[in-house]
């Protein structure tokens, strides 16, 4: 496993995400993911599966201290009292006294950002979270959040795949000492049949999906989440550390970015996204 260091955090570069994974599926797949070697597990309050994630980790046979566990506070919990209560509820569901990383899930301008960041820092100071960060923030919001925070922010979790140019966010994160955590790496399955990715994969004896995951973690300061509900695909998703893409291959993947490549932009949540470089 490769690790990404960011503002004092050491994060496994490949994480297992549980978005849109019902509890029964979590209980089936997450223990196998941990057995496969995954040590970074990502969930969120809004996913509705924190309790099952906690159960899966507790029963995995792997020490809690060896798992990097991330969860996210949902936007309706951003007011101070609700925020603090929601973190305690998450910890109870996750069967732990702390999470390794706690994120603000989406921007919410109905609650002052200073209040959101202030409570994030309170739960950090209380030892309930080891590290803090944001998710789905544009560069302006990232900079504002970092300025407001006493504790350093360690990541911005955003949609990132070959069809979406995230240069602006990557550059801003690196300047701030932060990492970028990529979700939707498979672009809703689109990468699987991409001829460029398949051709690169063939030259390494790898699949297009493995090429994308490798492309992500090979970038400076990038963490990638992967997800599958198919147990037989777990080894494929994890097996990306025994090959390296050339500079030309990296450039070929970057060149797939296109206008309109963004998939996730929910109304009422999404900020004004940064324009591609």
Catalytic annotation, residues: 47
DSSP string, 212-258: HHHHHHTSTTEEEEE--S-GGGHHHHH--SS----HHHHHHHHTT--
C-beta of residue 67 within 8 angstroms of C-beta of residue 99:
no
Residues in the chain: 277
Give the whole-angstrom CA distance, residue 131 versus residue 104. 12
Burial of residue 244, with CB atoms counted within 10 A of its CB: 0-12 exposed, 13-18 middle, 19 or more buried: exposed
Locate all alpha helices (DSSP H) within 3-112, ordered by sequence: 23-36, 50-58, 80-94
Largest CA distance in the chain: 54
Burial of residue 46, with CB atoms counted within 10 A of its CB: 0-12 exposed, 13-18 middle, 19 or more buried: middle
Long-range contacts of 59-62, Cβ-Cβ distance < 8 Å, separation of 24 or more: 59/31, 60/30, 60/31, 60/34, 60/35, 62/34
> 204 CB contacts (<8 Å, ≥6 apart)?
210, 211, 243, 245
C-beta of residue 212 within 8 angstroms of C-beta of residue 236:
no
C-beta of residue 27 within 8 angstroms of C-beta of residue 1:
no
C-beta of residue 194 within 8 angstroms of C-beta of residue 215:
no
């Amino acid at each position: 496993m490769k690790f990404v260091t960011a503002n004092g955090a050491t994060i496994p570069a490949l994480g297992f995400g549980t978005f849109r994974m019902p509890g029964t599926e979590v209980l089936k797949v997450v223990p196998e993911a941990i057995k496969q070697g995954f040590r970074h597990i990502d969930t969120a309050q809004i996913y509705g599966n924190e309790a099952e994630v906690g159960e899966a980790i507790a029963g995995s046979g792997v020490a809690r201290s060896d798992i990097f566990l991330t969860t996210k506070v949902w936007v309706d919990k951003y007011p101070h009292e609700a925020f603090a209560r929601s973190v305690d509820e998450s910890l109870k569901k996750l069967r732990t006294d702390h999470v390794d990383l706690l994120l603000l899930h989406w921007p919410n301008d109905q609650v002052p950002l200073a209040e959101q960041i202030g409570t994030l820092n309170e739960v950090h100071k209380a030892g309930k979270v080891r590290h803090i960060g944001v998710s789905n923030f544009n560069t302006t919001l990232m900079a504002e959040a970092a300025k407001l925070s006493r504790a350093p922010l360690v990541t911005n979790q955003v949609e990132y795949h070959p069809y979406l140019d995230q240069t602006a966010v990557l550059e801003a994160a690196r300047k701030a000492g932060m990492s970028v955590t990529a979700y939707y790496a498979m672009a809703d399955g689109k990468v699987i049949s991409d001829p460029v990715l398949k051709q690169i994969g063939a030259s390494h004896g790898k699949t297009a999906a493995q090429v994308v995951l490798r492309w992500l973690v090979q970038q400076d300061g990038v963490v990638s989440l992967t997800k599958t509900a198919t147990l037989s695909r777990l080894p494929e998703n994890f097996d990306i550390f025994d090959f390296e893409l050339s500079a030309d291959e990296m450039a070929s993947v970057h060149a797939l970015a296109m206008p309109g490549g963004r998939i996730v932009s929910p109304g009422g949540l999404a900020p004004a996204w940064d324009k591609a470089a």
